[in-house]
Structure 1
Amino acid sequence: MSHEQQESFCEKLSGELRHFRWREIFTWKLLRMLAMGQGLSALICGTAVTSQYLATEFQLDVPMFQSCINYVLLCLTYTTALCFKKGNENILQILKTKWWKYLLLGLVDVEANYAVVKAYQYTTLTSIQLLDCFILPVLLILSRIFLKTRYRIIHYVAVFVCLAGVGAMVGADLVSGRDQGSSSNILLGDGLVIISATLYAVSNLCQEYIVKNKSRIEFLGMVGLFGMLISGIQLGVLEHMEVGNIQWKWQTALLLGGFAICMYTLYSCMPVVISMTSATAVNLSLLTADLFSIFCGIFLFQYTFSGLYVVSLLAIMVGFIMFNTVPTPSQSPEPVSQEAGQDNQAVEHDDERQVGSAVDNQEKCVIDSNLENLPAKNGHILRSVKM
């Protein structure tokens, strides 16, 4: 970057900062989004801790079986809810017109989960943490192309600050000697992480579009249906022996149940947070999930604490707040869902009633003014009309 380009970049950034109303940044909406984003990170931490207990204490490594349980729960609740919808929101109407789209979306979501879990067998934890951030630039590019999202310089700076926080976390892992994982085939493992991050970006982008333009129930119901079918087939092919050899104990059932509850809650709540912000903002907030897992590991698995973890947490929080200080509107108008249309119709009826009442009041005022101009001998007529 030349000196002139650096000056232009600094001028644009300083110009955006000058137009900020700093007192209006920390609103209840921002604090609510921040709290909900960290709640999602806590749920991801719950899935990580339960999976680690299953792998270390009970030698149980069945990621596809765990994912299949989650998709079954989604299908039982949200897909069933679609069966009772009417009109275009009914499951039969959706399957007639968009079944192949949701089939591809379910395939993308299932394989994204499977690829990142499979990567632990070939590469190190440090590589996974670093390359998993590849989802952010992919989301920025895809959102700009398909959703026509307009990003400003402050948004790119916020992403850079969050990535710097991830770098501090990885540095703390290296200092504390927590660079776990296999290194049998690092190239394959890193490739799986990049593939997983790309698939997650596509899934999250589709989720943002469907949630903001259709409905949350439709997205979760279709992902639950096709995710259950795809993961069930993949489970029968790849993990049928491992599932058949499970030594069922109450601890194993409890951990599997805990994982399923955390994952199901994560899938149910994430569309709500995305509808309030964007998929990119949510993924920035989810960068703290590894930190939460580390903090839990300090007490549960005797990890070594480092001050860089606190620095990483603060950097990610600052980047998330910076990203949400400036809105990222879409250039193209968003279609209105049926539910939103009903709400708008109700508002229009209210507006019509208000306009009608205003017209009536104006007519009444005209009549009153005309009556008041009548002679005094017609006062009895004036009183009768006003009554």
Structure 2
Amino acid sequence: MVPWYWYLALAIVDVQGNYLIVKAYQYTSITSVTLLDCWTIPWVIILTWIALGTRYSPWQFVGAAVCVLGLGLVLLSDVGVSGGGGSKPIIGDTLVIAGTVCYAFSNVGEEFCVKRKDRVELLAMLGIFGVLVGTCEIAVLERKDLESVKWSATMICLFGGFAAATFLFYTVVPFVMKMSGATLFNLSLLTSDMWAVAIRVFFYHDQVDWLYYLAFGLVAIGLIIYSVKENNTANGGDPEALQYERIPQESSAVNGQHETCSDTNTERA
């Protein structure tokens, strides 16, 4: 049984993470936001190690470190070495990194809840509390900006498209958390970087600095290292390097099922 206040806490950190990330778009470029959003990965690794008892192989740490190195190049560009884009890129980058901390707590908490309870309850409770928290935050922090919006057919379609994409994203997330966990989920999101660069170049006609391409290359290499080592472990590698371990409640349930099956087979014999 997952207490209701767990879902409330998850909703608070998730809404706050989304708020900080969206706010960052006012100050920095879409490419910087998308790449720096991957800072969620190291935070998730730390939290899953501490809270869920997840263990990683040394090569998986190397892969994650290479990803973080690539993201560091984005910060280097936005500081002004090569020109990052945006009105206040440092403030925007700081907001993104703060948002990734909230995302990490939210993702690890969702993994914990979805493995203790069913996905439907997680979606329902997170949706209910998320609406309440989001409404209160808009009323306090963004009321004047919301009142100043000039509504048009284009604006309504944009908001509708964003809402539909977000709904689909949050509907799929629990399934991924159940199958692979928070770390691989966030690593898989790195593919969004490719789309961010493409949109910036072809739709906004912006010039993408060469450091962004180098950063994207490092992130891709790090993802490959991490994924290959994870697959090797899953296919019979060192058992001590297993990436995901069952949480205590899940292990107890599985052991109970094994004992029941053994008793049944004994009776049939």
Residues in 2 aligned to 1:312 and 1:194: alpha-carbon distance in whole angstroms: 16
Match of 1:285 among 165, 188, 197: 188
Task: Choose the corresponding residue for 2:243, options 328, 332, 342.
Answer: 328
Q: Is the radius of gyration larger for structure 1 or structure 2?
A: 1
Aligned pair 1:101/2:3, yes or no? no
Q: Which moved more, 1:194-203 or 1:325-334?
A: 325-334
Question: Is the counterpart of residue 235 in structure 1 residue 138 in structure 2?
Answer: yes
Task: Identify the residue that residue 108 of structure 2 maps to in structure 1.
Answer: 205
Amino acid at match of 1:266: F
CA-atom RMSD in angstroms: 3.8
Structure 1 position 206, deviation (Å): 0.2
Kindly provide the CA deviation profile for residues 11-69 of structure 1, in whole angstroms up to 9, marking residues without a partner as x.
xxxxxxxxxxxxxxxxxxxxxxxxxxxxxxxxxxxxxxxxxxxxxxxxxxxxxxxxxxx
CA contact under 8 A between 1:110 and 1:227: conserved in structure 2? yes
CA gap 1:355/1:303 in 2 versus in 1, 3 angstroms: farther
Q: Which residue of 1 aligns with 2:63?
A: 158
Q: Is the 8 A contact 1:130 1:167 kept in 2?
A: no
Residue 169 of structure 1 deviates from its aligned partner by: 6.4
Match of 2:121 among 218, 232, 242: 218
Q: Is the 8 A contact 2:43 2:101 kept in 1?
A: yes
Which residue is equivalent to 1:367? none
List per-residue Cα deviations over 1:217-259 (Å, max 9, x = no partner).
1221111111100111122233334334433322222211111
31, 39, 46: which one aligns with 1:134: 39
- Matched letter for residue 134 of structure 1: W
The answer to whether the Cα contact below 8 Å between 1:132 and 1:194 also exists between their aligned partners in 2 is yes
Q: Which amino acid aligns with 1:333?
A: P
Kept after mapping to 1: 8 A contact 2:55/2:244: yes
- Deviation string, structure 1 residues 355-378 (Cα, Å, up to 9, x no partner): 73xx4xxxxxxxxxxxxxxxxxxx
Distance 2:35 2:193 in 1: 11
Distance 1:109 1:122, change over 3 A: same
- 1:178 Cα offset (Å): 6.5
For 1:119, the equivalent position in structure 2 comes to: 24
Q: Deviations over 1:261-318 (max 9, x none)?
A: 1111111112222222221122122233233111122221113367776665554344
Is the 2:63–2:222 contact (alpha carbons within 8 Å) kept by the matching residues of 1?
yes
Range with bigger deviation, 227-236 or 314-323? 314-323
What's the counterpart of residue 300 of structure 1? 203
CA distance in 1 between partners of 2:150 and 2:18 (Å): 24
Which of 158, 177, 193 matches 2:96? 193
Q: 1:256 maps to what in 2? A: 159
**Deviation of the 1:207 alpha carbon:** 0.9
The match for 1:80 is none
Alpha-carbon distance in structure 1 between the residues aligned to 2:214 and 2:27: 29
Q: Distance in 1 between matches of 2:177 and 2:50?
A: 18
Contact 2:20 2:99 in 1 (8 A): yes
Corresponding residue of 1:181: 86
* 1:193 CA displacement: 3.1
* TM-score, length basis structure 1: 0.55
**2:103 partner amino acid:** Y
Counterparts in 2 of 1:131 and 1:297: CA distance versus 1, 3 Å: closer
**Sequence identity (%):** 35
**Shift of residue 321 of structure 1?**
3.6
The amino acid across from 2:41 in the alignment is: L
Per-residue CA deviation, residues 158-212 of structure 1 (Å, 9 max, x unaligned), is 102323444566778899x76222229x4x5554333212111111110111122
Q: For 2:28 and 2:130, how far apart are their aligned partners in 1? A: 27
Matching residue of 2:49: 144
Range moving further from structure 2, 132-141 or 210-219: 132-141
- Aligned partners of 1:150 and 1:331 also within 8 Å: no
Call closer, same or farther: CA 1:246–1:131 in 2, change over 3 Å.
closer
Cα deviation, 1:317-375, whole Å, max 9, x if unaligned, reads 4433432323413275342799x89xx59x949x947973xx4xxxxxxxxxxxxxxxx
Structure ranking higher on relative contact order (CA contacts 8 Å, 6+ apart): 2
